[in-house]
Amino acid sequence: MDLLMESLIAVLILIGAAFTCLGSIGLVRLRDFYERLHTPTKATTLGVGSLLIASAIFFSWTMPGISLHEVLVAVFLFITAPVSAHLMAKAALHLRERGETGLPPETTLQRHDGSGRLSEDKDGNQDGNAADSG
Amino acid sequence: MSDLTETGLILNSALMIGFLLVTAAVLLSLWRLIVGPDKPDRILALDTLYVNTIALLVLLDIKLASSLYFEAALLIALFGFVGTVALAKFLTRGDIIE
Amino acid sequence: MKPLLPHPILSLMLLGLWLLLVNSIAPGQILLGALLAWLIPLYTVRFWTAQVRIRRPLSLLRLAGTVLVDIVVANLAVARLIVGPMARIQPAFIRMPLRLQGNVGVSLLANIVTLTPGTLSASLSPDRSELIIHALQGHDPGAIIADIRTRYEQPLLDALEQR
């Protein structure tokens, strides 16, 4: 096997598996349901996405012809992941309104009026980005 | 054909580590599925489990150098989504079909 | 009189989907895919109530690029949060007033919000004026809202036209 190609596929597999695993670690470690909802939708999507890219490269390269049907699964996952996350969040919010789940009180609804503040929010936006990446 | 199915050392080690990591992910999701504590948590764990299974099947495909399990992965993606939507809707409305 | 090709974009997507599914670009498969791509929209035209005209395809493409880059950034950020100390996560719900109207625009925005850094669209208010967002680091709701507005909502407003 061509060493470069093999290394590329290997790196993609490692990245994909690592993100898949991280998604599940988040599922176990995070403290409440809404926090847990963040990890599978993000980490797992990218994880499986990069595994599928690895698979597409592998089959296009070892087999005759180009294999792109893995893209189908990836596209499907990217479309459905946010939808199912949204529905689960809605279900959880609904249950909380009915008082059936005991969620920590720290997740309170914050009312924020953002109307007409677009221009002056721009520098605040920059600060927010800096704080997030730091 | 036999030299095509023979994967190199680097790829094989990557696949082994990949299998380990994804299996760990499956176990962690299973733990969340069992522990809960709430119904939405269990649905979320199931949803994650579907995606983990797809990852496992994709790895198996590369390992076996055949796209035998591709359709299975696609079907799990489809039915996993439908199942998650149905369960979430059931929790929200107490009913799946309105 | 029904138009001969009611949804050109849907038809193109169906053809692409078919070719990906059969994993081949043999002439026969292209023909079969084209037939399906023509017939399916023709017979499901009544299901597609909301029609959207894309005003600026380029703007939409640029948005797709931004979102793809942001997804990777989002994953790295969330990965760091997961392995780091839990105290760094200060979750909050944020109500974001929507300027977008229409099914397609709002659902696109909600999906993009879920896929990008630290935010998750949790619910839509019944009158569709507010999107309720859950943020992993919600100490500055104004910044998050402004970020979503400039990066995603504005391009969508520019690109889509509700008919």
pTM (predicted TM-score): 0.78
Mark yes or no for CB contact B21/A18 under 8 Å.
yes
Segment A45-70 shows an average pLDDT of: 83
CATH dotted code for B2-92? 1.10.287
CA B46/CA C154 separation, integer angstroms: 36
Task: Inform me whether the C-beta atom of residue A46 falls under 8 Å from chain B C-beta atoms.
Answer: no
Question: Could you tell me if residue A16 is left (phi over 0), alpha (psi between -120 and 50 degrees) or otherwise beta?
Answer: alpha
Mark yes or no for CB contact A51/B58 under 8 Å.
yes
Structure tokens at A53: 């890219």
User: How confident is the model at residue A128, as a pLDDT?
Assistant: 36
User: How confident is the model at residue C51, as a pLDDT?
Assistant: 63
Note whether residue A111 is domain-resident.
Answer: no
Task: Inform me whether the C-beta atom of residue A49 falls under 8 Å from chain B C-beta atoms.
Answer: no
Chains contacting B (3+ CB pairs below 8 angstroms)? A
User: Could you tell me the pLDDT band of residue B21, with boundaries at 50, 70 and 90?
Assistant: very high
C37 and C66 in a single domain? The answer is no
Q: Exposed e or buried b for every residue in C109-140, given b needs 16+ CB within 10 A? A: bbbbbbbbbbbbbbbbeeeeebbbbbbbbbeb
Which is higher by pLDDT, C20 or B28? B28
CB-based contacts of A114, cutoff 8 Å, min separation 6:
A121, C96, C97, C141, C142, C145, C146, C149
Chain C residue with minimal CA distance to A60? C23
pLDDT tens for each residue of A84-104: 888 888 888 877 766 544 444
Q: What is the SS3 string spanning C95-138? A: EEECCCCCHHHHHHHHHHHHHCCCEEEEEECCCCCEEEEEECEC
ipTM reported for the complex, 2 dp? 0.81
Structure tokens at A65: 């012809």
Segment C92-113 shows an average pLDDT of: 81
- The candidate with the shortest Cα–Cα distance to A21, out of A44, A38, A3, A51, is A44
Residues of chain B neighbouring A90 (CB-CB closer than 8 A): 88, 92
Note whether residue C131 is domain-resident.
Answer: yes
C72 and C117 in a single domain? The answer is yes
Q: Which of A35, A86, A124 sits opposite C146 (nearest CB)?
A: A124
Residue A10: pLDDT above 80? Answer: yes
Task: Inform me whether the C-beta atom of residue A15 falls under 8 Å from chain B C-beta atoms.
Answer: no
Q: Which of residues 21-50 of B touch A (CB under 8 A)?
A: 21-22, 24-26, 28-29, 31-32, 37-41, 43-45, 47-48
C29 and C72 in a single domain? The answer is no
Mark yes or no for CB contact C114/A132 under 8 Å.
no
Residue C55: pLDDT above 60? Answer: yes
- C134, β-bridge pairs: C93, C120
Distance from CA of C2 to the nearest CA of A (A): 30
Structure tokens at B26: 């499956």
Residues of chain A neighbouring C21 (CB-CB closer than 8 A): 69, 72
Residue B35: pLDDT above 80? Answer: yes
Note whether residue A47 is domain-resident.
Answer: yes
Total number of domains in chain C = 2
Chain A residue with minimal CA distance to B48? A40
User: Could you tell me the pLDDT band of residue B27, with boundaries at 50, 70 and 90?
Assistant: very high
pLDDT tens for each residue of C6-34: 677 778 888 888 888 887 778 888 888 88
User: Could you tell me the pLDDT band of residue A105, with boundaries at 50, 70 and 90?
Assistant: very low
CB-based contacts of C15, cutoff 8 Å, min separation 6:
C30, C33, C34, C36, C37
Its domain, for residue A16, covers 3-102
Question: Could you tell me if residue A67 is left (phi over 0), alpha (psi between -120 and 50 degrees) or otherwise beta?
Answer: beta
CB-based contacts of C30, cutoff 8 Å, min separation 6:
C15, C19
Other beta carbons within 10 angstroms of residue A107's beta carbon come to 19
CA B55/CA A48 separation, integer angstroms: 6
pLDDT tens for each residue of A117-128: 333 333 333 333
Q: How many CA atoms lie within 13 A of C138 on its CB side?
A: 23
Mark yes or no for CB contact C144/A106 under 8 Å.
no
Chain C residue with minimal CA distance to A28? C82
CA C101/CA C37 separation, integer angstroms: 29
Mean pLDDT of chain A: 71
CB-based contacts of B52, cutoff 8 Å, min separation 6:
A20, A24, A44, B22, B25, B26, B29
Burial of C102 (0-12, 13-18, 19+ CB in 10 A): middle
Its domain, for residue C24, covers 8-43
CA C39/CA C21 separation, integer angstroms: 18
C107 and C35 in a single domain? The answer is no
C136 and C61 in a single domain? The answer is yes
Total number of domains in chain A = 1
CA A39/CA A1 separation, integer angstroms: 36
